[in-house]
Chain A
């Protein structure tokens, strides 16, 4: 692909017979897996500088997002493995093109040994909840990981606690490079008088300051009371949840990661409880109508963002030649929007085995998939490997100077 940027000067390394300009080197290097790139930092100082540069890290993410073969994308899910709970990963390209694929476990950080949750995945970083109250940020491709400061610092005598809802995302470019985690916990503790206290606590963590912000304590209703899915969907700088307000009534709630305030988003229709997806960084909704899902996408239309109908998945039992059990949609485990606009449907078979079907809006067809090692999958996320470091670039530069 011809680079749209003006050709950069010839590589500084062209001392001998090297005739390949840096622009083309870049075009080759971004296609390599992160593991190979880390290895090739040893080739020479100019290669080290190039691979470590902020520009290259960004190009790597942008190009992988745009490329139709999705060379660096995977589908991840926490799974039970012989060694315990781990996060397994299935290469997206193989999943799209081959009938049967493997999803081996990623090399999890040492701190991950018990119950694990994926709180979110963004730019190659995965935010993992471990056990009852521990949160990690992790780049599986570089094997860098970091445990967040203890959420309940200063809270004494916690009887029990657990995750209610959460999310992970990057601040928009204008606000500068930073990642934030939102976590809402329930907890039971004793107050100073020895009276038992049941409440929920919500906080936002910023990677840049490596600290949790101000605590919001809720005694009755939190802004996320009744959220259908715990994991907030990250799109356009906001985490989104569906919140049930009354029987078959719902609304969309978001948390703006820049301002750290909650807000609401209009709905495209009143159809029954939808699910979320993300396509090209835009929020999508799967609205459940009798015998079909309408897929809506929140996109720029004219000058303003609005809901646009993107596609429709029929699930009239006649149109499925798949052995679905019991009436839908009870058996729909997950709907996951894939970056090519197809939809990955995960469900549990009558033998309690995870099954996968890909729906293509192009030909309105369904393809069945077998993924080895993906078992009891009830949370699927799209993950794309990257060189993003948990030490932000600005800080790296500061440390150097």
Chain B
């Protein structure tokens, strides 16, 4: 079995330890004897989405997102097809905002990919905090760190979780992130996947199921992952 991970524009979208998300998916495949290949795409590269099993869209500064957004128009159609065909996507921070229709900033509108029905508006102050969210579909909370000026509204889509500590999508509705088909968008970094191996395995399982029709993931020893996760849960929601 083999998983191919496409990392979009790591030169521009690489804030907040995005490399850790890639590393986590790669290692958790390898530890199970599943081959994992990471393909990095630069801004002008052509992307064959049919060759990818997981797409990672990371975070960048507003300025860098502006540079990326012009290029995104050229891949929008193929990317949309990939998503509608249940392709797996993990989009973090800036990448999450780019999933939507637009991000309105004081410097102008950053057009998004319109892959998911959501939009983002700049707000003040920046929402900066450790964050803990809960989703019944996952066996324990999802933890991370958020740092975003944008307020995201997901228009009735399913959220990734309910906020038990921190701000979430917009600091108002106590929701964080979005889940649409096999797409997860979230403001959580820290990075997201190493401390949330259940989310990582969810993505891997979806990718394997789509590719091979079945998805049995051998359990791994996640004691250290859980300890790091529990530390945050305990410190911010139980004290």
Genuine A/B complex? no
- A interface with B by C-beta (< 8 Å): none
- B interface with A by C-beta (< 8 Å): none
